[in-house]
Structures are given as C-alpha cells and as structure tokens.
Amino acid sequence: MIKEYQTIREVSGPLMIVKGVDNVTYDELAEIELSNGEHRRCKVLEVNGSDAVVQLFESSAGINLAESKVRFLGHGMRLGVSEDMLGRVFDGMGRPIDGGPEILAEKYIDVNGLPMNPAARNYPSEFIQTGVSAIDGLNTLVRGQKLPIFSGSGLPHAQLAAQIARQAKVRGTDSSFAVCFAAVGITFEESEYFVREFKRTGAIDRTVLFTNLANDPAVERIATPRMCLTAAEYLAFEKNMHVLVIITDITNYAEALREVSAARKEVPGRRGYPGYLYTDLATMYERAGRRRGSEGSITMIPILTMPEDDLTHPIPDLTGYITEGQIILSRELYLKNVMPPVDVSSSLSRLKDKGIGEGKTREDHSGTMNQLFAAYSAGKDARELATILGESALSDVDKLYAKFAEQFEDAYVGQGFDSDRSIEETLDIGWKLLSILPVTELKRIKTEHIDKYLPKAE
Amino acid sequence: MGKIIKVSGPLVVAEGLADAGMADVVLVGAQKLRGEILTMTGDRASIQVYEETAGLGPGAEVVTTGSPLSVELGPGLLDNIYDGIQRPLEEIRDICGDTLTRGIDIPALNRQKLWEFKPVAEVGASVSGGDIIGTVQETSAIEHRIMVPHGVTGTIQSIEQGAFKVTDVVAKIKSADGKVTEVTMMQKWGVRKGRPYKHKNLPEVPLQSGQRVIDTLFPLAKGGTAAVPGPFGSGKTVVQHALAKWSDVDVVVYIGCGERGNEMTDVLMEFPELTDPKTGEPLMKRTCLIANTSDMPVAAREASIYTGITIAEYYRDMGYDVAIIADSTSRWAEALREMSGRLEEMPGEEGYPAYLSSRLAQFYERAGSIECVCSDDNPRSGSLTAIGAVSPPGGDTSEPVSQATLRIVKVFWGLDASLARARHFPAINWLNSYSLYLDNLQGWYDENLGEQFLANRAKTVSLLQEESSLQEIVKLVGQDSLSPEDRLTLETAKMIREDYLQQNAFVDIDSFSSYDRQAKMLAMILQFDQLARTALGAGTDMKKILAVSSKARIARAKTVEEDCYQDEYAGIAANITAELKALAAGGDAE
C-alpha cells in the first residue's frame, strides 16, 4: 500500500525534507502532488530515521508545504523500454513529447544500470569508418569505444557529431544500428539542428531522442543521460543492435550535479564540483562497451565544451581520465576555416591500435599514421620558426615540412562537413601529402609499403 | 542484531550493534550486502557498504560477521580476476551474466577444485608458523607453498598426500600442550593488517623492467616503492602494463582501482597470450588481477588496494619476489574522500581526509625486501615491490595525493604531456624524475654490469641536463651561435633521447631490453660522443662526423633481434671506432 505524506518541512533549491516517513529507502523514486493536481518527480538522497532528504527533478515553484502530498513509489527511477522507442522524442525524464502515444513498455529498467563485470567485457576492436579523415586515419574510432569531443563555445562540435552519426558504419556488415541522443541543457536551436539532420538523412527512424533544453529544469539533467543510456543498453544488449550514443553537453550535466551538491552543503572539490564527480561521470561513461554475451555494442560520443578552452578544467580533465581518448577541436584551425577543426596532435584514440592494420583497415595504416603525426608536428615547428626568424632561416627540408603542414590541414583535415571518405581515400590522401617530403624522411614507414603505396613522381 | 537508521549513498548508520567490533564486516539488509564498520558510538555504527545501497531504508537488519575484512589465501589466486573485496569475477559472470548484480556471495577460492598436495615436511617434524609443509603446483609457472598458519607451533602429527580441496585438512599439528590444529591449504587474513616478517633488509637488487629509461636512469629495487604520476594521455597505463609484463619478479598483483573496464579486459585478453621471458610460461600464470573499475561501488575501491597487497604479501611470505601495481591510487584516495565526506569528518586539503597521507604511507610501507617468518634452520627471503600510478588533476602534481605519495616513495617517474604529444614514449621526463636507490644498487651494478655502467649513467644524465640548458640558448639566438662542442652535445643528447630512451611498447623486440643490451647500447652512444669530440678537436667538420654510417647503425640498434644483438653491437662499436678515428686522423670515413 502506498502511503501519502503531507509532511514536507523544508524546500530549498532542488532539495526537500519530508518528515515522519516510514519504509522509505535510499534512491527511491517519489512523486509530489501539488494542490492544483500537478505531479512532479523526485528521488530520495538520504534517509535518516524518519526524515527523508529528497531531490526534485523539476522546479520547486508552487510547492505548498502544507498542502502538497508526497508519495514514495517503492522503486528507483525506471524507464519503460521497447523497440517502439526508435523514432520517438522524449523529454529529459523519458516522457514522450512528440505528440505520439505512450510507449507500451516491454519492461521497466532502473536507469542507474548495473556495473559491467570487467571479466564480461569484450575488447573493442572493430573499425568504425566515420568518413572523417582526421578520425579514421589518425584517431580511429572502434565499436564500443567512448570517445568524447572536447570543444569550446562557438566551435562546430554539433556539425562534427552529426557528421559522424550520419556517416558511421562498420564496413562489410549490415547489422542493425541505432542512435540514442541526449540533449542535456542545450538550446532549442542546437537540439533542432540535430533533429533536422536526423530527419534529413532518414536516420530519425533509427533514433531515440531525449531532450532537456536550456530552459528545462536543471536538476532534470542528472536523469537525462541515464535515460538515454538505459535505452541504449536495452537496444544494444537485449536487441543486439549497434548503438551510437551522443550526449551533449556534459558540461551542463556537471553543473546540475554541482547545484545539487552545493544545496546539500557537501565539501566541494575543485572549482566547486563535488568530489565524486569522477565516479559519477564514470558510471555513465563506463556503460559504453561490448559484452561477451551479446552481439550488440554501445559506442559513445559525449560532447563537452571546455570552459575557456581550458583542458585542465575538472570536466574535461576527469572525462579524459575515464574515456578512451578524446577528439579536441581547435579554435586556431576554426579561424583558418579548416573544417572540421580537429586538432589531430592533441587528440587521441587509445583503442586505435587494435582497430587498424591488415584485415581491418589496410596494412600501411599504422606506419603512415605515425609518419603523418611526426611530419605534421615537425611542420608546425618549422612554421613557428619561420614566423620568428623568417622563412629564409629554414633549411630546404624544413621548408618542405612547412608546406606539408599547410597542405595537411587543408586537404587532410579540412574536408568539410559533407564529404564522406572511405578509409582507402583517407590513406591515399595521406600518401599524396607524404610525397611532398623526401623519401629519406619517411623513417616510420616500412620500405615495402613505401614501394607499394607512395605515388610515383611524374 | 542491528537496525538501519540512516542511509546516505554508500554510508549506512545502524543501531543495536553492541556485539560488533570496530572494523567488523557486517551483512546489511535482506540482500546481505557486505559492509565494514568505520566508527562506533555506543551501539551505533557507521558502515561503509561495498555495494550499491539503493533500496535500503531504515529498519532493515544489519548482522555482524564478527570478523574484520579478510581475504582467502591459498591455491587458485593466480590466473584469476577478483573484484575489490575478492569475489571471483569469472564465476560471478557464469552465475549472473554480464553485469554485477548485488548481494552475490561466492567464496574467493573455488571450493570444488582439487589441488595435488605434495608434503615436504614429515610426521614428527617440529614446525612453527610460516614453515612450509607442502607444495601445490598452482599454475604452470608458480609452485604454491603451503605454510603453517602464523601462531601455530608444534610437531606434525599427520600429513597427507594427494588431491584435496582447499578446505580439506592436509596436516595436523600438535602443540606442546596437546592441542591439535588442523591445517588446510587455505588461510584467512585481515586485509588491513600487514602479514608479519622477521626483519626487513635494505633493497639491493634492481627490479629489471626491461624499460631502458627506468632500468638505466631511474631504477627501482626489488622491495622498493615507486610512483608514476601523469596527466591523462601521457601513457601511465602503458607504463604500468609494461611493468606488469616484463618485471623480473615471480608474481604480479595488478590492481585496477577505479579505472577503465576495458583496460582490465585488455590485460585479461593479452596476458594469457604473452610469454614470460623468465619462465617461458604465459604471463597470466603469474598474475592475479583485482578489478574494481570506476563504475563499480566506490567503497569496494577503497578496499581493493588492501585486498591486493595482502595477496601480494602472502606470496612474498612463500619466498617469492612479488610486484604490486596499483592503477590508480588517486581513485583510491577519492574513495577515501567520499567516505570521509559522508562521515562528516573535518576535511583536510582539497576535501581529502586529514589521514590521507598516513594511509598512503601505511600502504607503501608494506612493501620491502624481507626475511620470511619461519624456523631458523630453513630461512628464506622474499620481496614486495609497490608501484602506484597517480592521476593528478590537470597533471599538476602540487595536489595532495601526489605530494603525500612523493613524501614516501623512493622512485618518481614523472610522465610529461608534452613528451607524449611529441610521441616520445615512455613519456618519462628525465629532468624531474628520480630514483633514490642508486646508492643501494651500486654493489649489484658494479658486480653484474661493471663499474663503467654507473659512470656511463652519470654521463648520460649530465648530457641530458646540459642539453636542456643549451636548448634555452638555441631558442633565443639560434643554433648557429653554439660552439661545435655544444652542438655535438645536442646531437648526442638527441641520440640518447631518440635511439635509447624512446621505446615502443607495441613492437615486440623493442618492448623489452635486457640489462646487458642496455649497457651495451648506452656504451655505444657514449663511445660515439667521446670519439666524435676527439675528431672535432682535431678539426674535423661536424657534418662529416654526423654522416658516418655507424651513427645510423646505432639508431637501428634497438630493433636488432635478440639472438644476434651481441655480434651486431660489437660490430657497431668497432665501426664507430674505425670511422671516427679515421676522421680524427684526417682520413676519410669510407
């Protein structure tokens, strides 16, 4: 029997204290009924004797302490899942907002999920072709990887994410794939951009969208990514789909978490974020992966904007410690109109070594990748030297390197948001660029690959 | 029996626990979630629960087990993977699938498996705690030595031979007052208390890791302690994996503490395929994995470090050289901070509890090179080397965990983001890293590698140091302003960096270098430097010196196959001498 309590004693920010409760458990979901009949959801953060500290997911405006009622529902926050979710749009708490019917849930799953047994993970090693050279060639994405995009305000991360969602495929397979998209505290315009992109390409039928916009309650943002991941886990590990999860923007999520932490008067960690930010982020990011008992996979691309482009800010910093690499966007390249402005030198994919090479991409991939990294870095150094001491100070080889760096940014990175390159095209462009340099400089590539792939001088 | 009165995340407060002692393990709620008592006030206990506490509420029952958090020690630990409180993850997967459901209670050591017990002590022999009474071939690489439990002394009344389960009695020991103790192959030990030893020795033998920058410049001794701090993407995990793979120890305990799940999967899938250069057996056969990844409950993360080091101490007591690798101690400290915050303790620096540094010190101090506890007629010694990764926020080591660690450990391998970006791996910064074991190890070096080795090492360090100050000048006024000698210094330093310190963990031949190889490679580079200086002094042009063919051969020396490197290196050395002497004499290099 569900009891109702009319004993709200205190509401402050997103927190509420309910007195005299009985049989309430930690992390239990509750519902508040306002005097006008409106329902709002909340969850238990702490129970102390007969007092419960409850966190609201919605605004506290209009809650009348004397007349509002609280009902504890006897379970944690759950999401009703079914394959019919594909193609639908939900709000940040998982309620349909596209005017369609309610989802007839096949089952209800706790949104917090369960940790994956490390012994049950399957190491990600299948190459995903995103059609973006800077990713495929140099920071290769594999199925089951979590690879965030570190962006800055005003940089085109949405376009890049949409491009990846549109173009990503594992070659030689036609297994069913789906996109789970969570908009966390972003603007209507950004969210609408994604919706239109998905509609334009027809991907919308394979997409589950959860939207919490900038004007939606901030604390709801704590639930939104978990809703999205729960849907993704269901599709991936129960329906054997390959799911691409895009969550944008993690910075807004972390801020919501900070708001609740501050309201609880917890000892703050760096920059006021709670000390458990790492663990909290990890329980989301680690839900990506592959399992030995299932065909499906979750590949995750969280997007976050680095405040002031600062990589050492706690959000990108802690994210980088959990995720398997990062794609960093560069303001400098953006201003040069190199699109997508991927800063290849500071970007990294930790899982690339297992996903490339013969049988996966091509035998020369690893060698050319290292050579391109080294050459681009030498080229940038040469360019820098030229700005200080003048071009004449460069040796002949350095001049070639500087030329290489220019063309590399132009031709290799700056492919635009509409071009979809096969991995062979990407590798061939790499070779063409490397042919700018004297063959003796190509120390990181095997000689037989040079003989086989280096374009012959005309 | 107690009752819960408060639940706040992993912290549960219960009252009515007057029968429980401090640090007892308790079973919480209907699901019997395991937890540990942190504080007691009257009959009220604060408990950290090792599993997710969702669904617990006031009124739920709490029962004490009456014993502190313990691990099971016996055959079956190696070639296995456990969570932070020693639950076998492979077996859990067989029972409840790919995710970790709550309240699972599976014994750490398989109770059904039979082990072939071979007695080495005889009936009537008088034994005391720590004495070996029998052996079990635990894996193809490691012989497990069954020891008399600590505190038991007497004569062996009976001893068995044959296949037994870990819980079967394999020997009976009768003490002087007639009390008979039944000895099984399994012991239990509380994780928070170090296992005893007779006495500690100074560590005087290097732990050979096969990593040139470590073994040559910043060596670690067997029984020593080391820390690897570095920002993300600087290759911490690659360094830790390389140490777990190639360290010349008998047993490795690898703790994945609050890190990525896929890293543990990587170890699980890769180690059975790799061969230990020392025994020729798969590396997994000497490895015990403790995995408490970042998405697993935070309180168990705190325990995982202790679980790991207790298992490591147990193998040390058998007389083995053991290494424990913890990735990452920062995540452990964060778990400590989270529990401390929930207990509403007064925070120290950055919210970490005031006892952070003493806890860290206690952990590292359990390392050491020791004489094992056993009767005097059959002495044996073992060592336990502790290596901890530190993940400082933003790579800034001024934060409390790094600083507290650096006060204790003797070796510091500082990883550098700028080296990693330049794809120089391992990205250990040679200017700020250090090892305090050089003096202790001098005897070993002089005896095994010759006195020249340490002299060469010192020369290398000073060349690198000099390079960094010369680079400052070059940045301001360009390379042309340097004297030929200084330019040679830059060249030699570059050779040291690129041809020696850089090492590719993903290329088979290069991933491991024996000490002999290291000594010879380093000698070659310094020989080049010395002879080139003579040639410069004789007025030879710098370009000619740098163009000699032996310089290019040095660059390729690290990829020479293991079976022919000695001849090749001797050839290169002769080549260097011939070419540079000819140049000095004014002749042509050809």
What's the pLDDT tens digit per position in B252-301? 999 999 889 998 998 888 899 988 888 889 999 999 999 999 999 988 99
pLDDT at B547: 86
Distance from CA of B13 to the nearest CA of A (A): 9
Q: Is A109 left (phi over 0), alpha (psi -120 to 50) or beta?
A: beta
Distance of CA B119 to the CA centre of its chain: 32
The pLDDT of residue A305 is 94
Q: Is 50 exceeded by the pLDDT of residue A317? A: yes
Distance from CA of B418 to the nearest CA of A (A): 10
Residues on chain A touching B6 (C-beta within 8 angstroms) = 46-49
Distance CA A453, CA A233 (A): 42
Residue A316 CB-half CA count within 13 A: 25
The reply to whether residue B341 touches residue A267, judged by beta carbons under 8 angstroms, is: yes
Distances (CA, A) of A211 to A108, A166, B197, B286: 20, 19, 60, 50
Is residue B19 predicted with pLDDT exceeding 80? Answer: yes
Band of the pLDDT at B590, cuts 50, 70, 90?
very low
pLDDT tens-digit series, residues A76-89: 999 999 999 999 99
> What is the percent of chain A where pLDDT is above 90?
67
Q: Phi, psi (5° rounding) for residue B426?
A: -65, 140
User: Which helix or strand (DSSP H or E) is residue A143 part of?
Assistant: none
Question: B-chain residues within 8 Å CB-CB of A353?
Answer: 506
Tell me: cis bond preceding A124? Omega within 30 of 0 counts: no
- Do residue A118 and residue B261 have CB atoms under 8 angstroms apart? yes
**Closest in B89, B351, B422 to A117, CB measured:** B89
8 Å CB contact of B55 and A27:
yes
Determine the pLDDT at residue B589.
Answer: 42
| Among candidate residues B513, B81, B511, B86, the one with its CA nearest the CA of residue B284 | B81
Distance of residue B551 Cα from the nearest chain A Cα, in angstroms:
15
The structure tokens listed for A380 are 């940038």
Are B295 and A373 an interchain contact pair (Cβ–Cβ within 8 Å)? no
Interface contact B54-A25, CB threshold 8 A: yes
Percentage above 70 pLDDT, chain B? 99
Integer Cα distance of A348 and B1 in angstroms: 53
Q: Which residues of B touch A447 (CB under 8 A)?
A: none
Residues from chain B that touch A293, judged by Cβ atoms under 8 A, are 97-98
Query: Do B100 and A286 count as a contact with CB atoms less than 8 A apart?
Result: no
**CB-based contacts of A15, cutoff 8 Å, min separation 6:** A45, A53, A54, A55, A56, A260, A263, A264
Contact B295 A115 (CB under 8 A): yes
Structure token pair of residue B67: 């014993």
pLDDT in tens, B363-374: 999 999 999 999
DSSP secondary structure string for all residues of B500-521: II---TTSTTTT---HHHHHHH
Distance CA(A185)–CA(A197), nearest Å, equals 19
Q: Quick count: other Cβ atoms within 10 Å of Cβ B265?
A: 25
Yes or no, beta carbons of B338 and A279 under 8 Å apart: yes
Which residue in A46, A279, A348 is closest to B298 by CB distance? A279
Q: What percent of chain A shows pLDDT beyond 70?
A: 99
Given a cut of 60, whether residue B587 has pLDDT beyond it is: no
**Confidence tier at B421 by pLDDT (50, 70, 90):** confident
Distance, CA of A248 to chain centre = 7
For B461, other C-beta atoms within 10 Å of its C-beta total 16
- Chain A CB contacts of B494 under 8 Å are none
pLDDT of residue B101: 87
Query: Would you call B264 exposed, middle or buried from its count of C-beta atoms within 10 A (0-12, 13-18, 19+)?
Result: buried
pLDDT of residue B443 exceeding 90, the answer is: yes
Cα gap B193→B215, rounded to integer Å: 32
pLDDT computed for residue B472 by the predictor? 86
Q: Provide the token pair at B31.
A: 């699901």
User: Which of A171-175, B104-108, B176-180 is predicted with the least confidence, judged by mean pLDDT?
Assistant: A171-175
Q: Which residue of B has its CA nearest to A112?
A: B54
- Which chain B positions have a beta carbon within 8 Å of A324's beta carbon? 260, 262
Q: Which residues of B touch A49 (CB under 8 A)?
A: 5-6, 58
8 Å CB contact of B98 and A268: no
Task: State whether A353 and B334 contact (CB < 8 Å).
Answer: no
Residue of B391, B149, B334, B139 lying closest to B252 (CA atoms): B139
Tell me, what amino acid is at A336? K
User: Would the CB atoms of A278 and B506 count as touching at under 8 Å?
Assistant: no
B303-308: average pLDDT: 96
Q: Quote the mean pLDDT of chain B.
A: 92
Residues in chain B, overall count: 590
Q: Is the pLDDT of residue B401 over 50?
A: yes
Least confidently predicted of A33-37, A116-120, A169-173, A254-258: A169-173
Q: How many whole angstroms separate alpha carbon A159 and alpha carbon A137?
A: 19
Give A60's pLDDT tier (boundaries 50, 70, 90).
confident
Residue of A nearest to B4 (CA): A49
Q: Closest approach of chain B CAs to the CA of A399, in angstroms?
A: 17
Tokens of B3: 């009752």
A246 phi/psi in degrees, rounded to 5: -120, 120
Task: Pick the closest to residue A248 from A180, A296, A323 (CA basis).
Answer: A180
Nearest in space to B463 (alpha carbons), one of B496, B440, B435, B427: B496
- Is residue B138 within 8 Å of B318, Cβ to Cβ? no
For residues A163 and A201, give the distance between their C-alpha atoms in angstroms, rounded to a whole number: 11
List CB contacts (< 8 A) between A317 and chain B: 231-232, 393-394
Distance of CA A337 to the CA centre of its chain: 24
Report the C-alpha gap between A416 and B337 in whole angstroms: 46
Q: Which of B498, B251, B223, B245 is nearest to B369 (CA)?
A: B223
Q: What is the pLDDT of residue A384?
A: 86
Give the CA distances from residue A344 to residues A308, A401, A409, A426, B8, in Å, rounded to whole numbers and listed in that order: 20, 16, 10, 14, 44
The residue among A3, A25, A322, A385 with the most chain B CBs within 10 A of its CB, best to mutate, is: A25
Position B438 scores a pLDDT of: 94
Instruction: Give the percent of chain B with pLDDT over 90.
Output: 73
Nearest CA in chain B to A48: B6
3-class secondary-structure state, position A6: coil
CA A279, CA B230: separation in Å to the nearest integer? 19
Per residue in B541-586, pLDDT tens? 888 898 888 988 898 888 888 889 999 999 999 999 999 999 988 7
Is the overall model pTM greater than 0.80, yes or no?
A: yes
* B546 to A299, B109, B551: CA distances (angstroms): 49, 61, 7
Cross-chain Cβ contact A117/B99 below 8 Å: yes
A458: pLDDT strictly greater than 70: no
Choose between B476 and A55: higher pLDDT. A55
pLDDT of residue B211: 95
pLDDT one-digit tens code per residue, B164-187: 999 999 999 999 999 999 999 999
pLDDT digits (tens, 9 = 90+) for B125-135: 999 999 999 99
Measured distance CA(A226)–CA(A202) in Å, rounded: 25
Q: What is the DSSP letter of A366?
A: H
Across the beta sheet with B162-164, the strand order is B143-147, B132-137, B115-119, B162-164
Check CB contact under 8 Å for B393 and A318: yes
Residue of A nearest to B350 (CA): A269
Q: Please list every residue in chain A whose beta carbon sits closer than 8 Å to the beta carbon of residue B265.
A: 118-119, 121-123
Torsion angle defined by CA atoms of residues B173, B175, B176 and B177, in that order, rounded to the nearest 10 degrees: -130
